[in-house]
Amino acid sequence: MIRFDSVSYTYGTSSGRRKALDDVTFSLGPGEMLAVVGANGSGKSTLARLANGLLLPASGRVLVEGIDTATRSQRVRTLVGIVFQRPDDQIVATTVEDDVAFGPENLGLERDEIRRRVDQALAAVGLTGLEAREPHLLSGGQKQRLALAGALALAPRYLVLDEPTSMIDPKGRGEVMRVVSRLREDGHGVMLITHDLEEALVADRVLVLQSGRAVFDGRPSEMTKALDLDAVGLELPSIVRMAESLAAAGLVVDGMSETAVIEALCRSTL
């Protein structure tokens, strides 16, 4: 389990100190998908960097499987993989397979083990067959899946994804989100950081940040009732507004995805 225990974090700036995270407490278990949402500047990316010890809390504790990240244990870094927003910034090698092998090589693993991990990671993200391809020839969605494969090759138990789809086109976004769902099914704990509420709706839980504070932690379906989304800088997806209007008109719709709305409507007229 990843556990944030009353975590605060402060950045020093030229105009003084700015609190990026303020007394945040939550946890993420294996096989669970937590979406972390909030407007730009709400503290989402800071939270991502605290989860694997890239940043250490100013106060409070972050525990990964019971290990305090403040101990700077290497174990934390291997338990929690992280993927950032811009795939181009995360690619280091000149072929797809070398890029994925970079992490395991640095861990000093045996050659056979490296081969096994590279093959497995590329299969998990659907890039098998592109081993020899130069990364700059990949599409945006493929590059981001390559970055994911690089993180997976270190065999993490948890994955922190910091707005992995915000810079790629809708097709690439769909590809990445399908891989993310599969990783959760495989038992990985997934922390998906996003400002797209449509993506957040498929998570088990949503943590909403506003100016560094956690203002909601619960199921996606409860979020729209409990929160004034406008006030936290988020936009209610149009499909949810539609589902709410349908419910008000007496057509009960359980769930908020496109498919859920369609299925519910078709059932209601049978």
Partner 1 sequence: MSLNLVNVSYSYDRVPPPVRALDSVDLDVGVGELVLVLGTTGSGKSTLLLVASGLVEPEHGEAIIDGATLGREHVGSSVGLVFQDAESQLFADSVMDDVAFGPLNLGVDPTEASGRAHEALSTVGLQPDEFGDRSPFSLSGGEARRAAIAGVLAMGPRYLLADEPTAGLDASGRKAVREALLRARRSAGVVVVSHSSDDFLPHADKVLLLTGGRTSWWGPASALVAEPSPLVRAGLRLPPVLSVQAELHRRGRYDQPFTLDPTEAAHRISQVMRCSP
Binding region for partner 1 (CB under 8 A):
39-41, 139-140, 166-167, 169-172, 174, 195, 197-198, 233-235, 237-239, 241-246, 248-251, 258, 261-262, 265-266, 268-269
Which CB sits closer to partner 1, 69 or 224? 224
Shortest distance (Å) from residue 42 CB to partner 1: 9
Q: Is the Cα dihedral 194, 197, 200, 204 positive or negative?
A: positive
Q: What share of the chain is helix, strand, coil (3-state, %, to 5)?
A: 45, 25, 35
Which CB sits closer to partner 1, 153 or 256? 256
Which CB sits closer to partner 1, 6 or 268? 268
Shortest distance (Å) from residue 215 CB to partner 1: 16
Within a 10 A sphere around the Cβ of 228, how many other Cβ atoms? 9
Which CB sits closer to partner 1, 18 or 75? 18
Structure tokens at 77: 């870094």
Closest by Cα among 55, 53, 84 to 160: 84
Which CB sits closer to partner 1, 104 or 140? 140
CA triple 102-89-100, angle to 5 deg: 20
Shortest distance (Å) from residue 52 CB to partner 1: 24
Shortest distance (Å) from residue 48 CB to partner 1: 16
Which CB sits closer to partner 1, 145 or 188? 145
Rounded CA separation 185/189 (Å): 9
Shortest distance (Å) from residue 141 CB to partner 1: 9
Q: What distances in angstroms separate CA 103 from CA 26, 48, 73, 98, 255, one per listed residue?
A: 29, 20, 17, 9, 39
Shortest distance (Å) from residue 268 CB to partner 1: 6
Alpha helices by DSSP H, listed for the chain, are 44-51, 74-79, 96-106, 111-124, 140-152, 170-185, 197-200, 220-226, 238-248, 258-268
